[in-house]
Amino acid sequence: MVAVNKINHIAVVVNDIEKSLAFWQDALGMELHEVRDVPAEASRVAFLPLAGAEIELVQPTSEESGIAKYLAKRGPGMHHLCLEVDDVAAMLAQLKTKNIRLINDEPRSGADGRKYAFIHPESTGGVLVELYQLA
């Protein structure tokens, strides 16, 4: 079996990162590590590290993006849970043998070289799960 090592991040979709930071940063007192644009996903993200994992706030920057459509349909809230694995390709192969429905059949590569893939909520009990392999 391919090892699942830890929770890397929990992503929350928001309408407005600055307004959301009033809760996460100002009221809860969590540290804000970074806010950055992700043009490839037409979104802005904010990272709040916590005990080796992160809360990731995601705000769409275009009406056309997948995140914008999700927000329009379901409103703000928890979007996905990201698990770190040693080998995304091997995990996808393992999941296929168990008939788990995948959103990405093959690993995708982020701008920073990380490999990732998403598992369909239909096979996970309703939670969108992302797999991450650090470079």
Positions that interact with Co ion (CB under 5 A): 11, 82, 130
CB of 58 to Co ion, least distance (A): 8
Could you tell me the smallest distance in angstroms from the CB atom of residue 118 to Co ion?
A: 9
* CA 40 to chain CA centroid, nearest Å: 14
Count, in order, helices (H) and strands (E) of the chain.
3, 8
84 or 130: whose CB is closer to Co ion?
130
Backbone φ, ψ for residue 42 (5° rounding): 45, 50
Q: What's at 45, amino acid-wise? A: V
C-alpha distance from residue 86 to each of 7, 13, 45 (Å): 13, 27, 25
- Quote the least distance from Cβ 130 to Co ion, whole Å: 5
Nearest residue (CB) to Co ion, 21 versus 57: 57
CB nearer to Co ion: give 26 or 109: 109
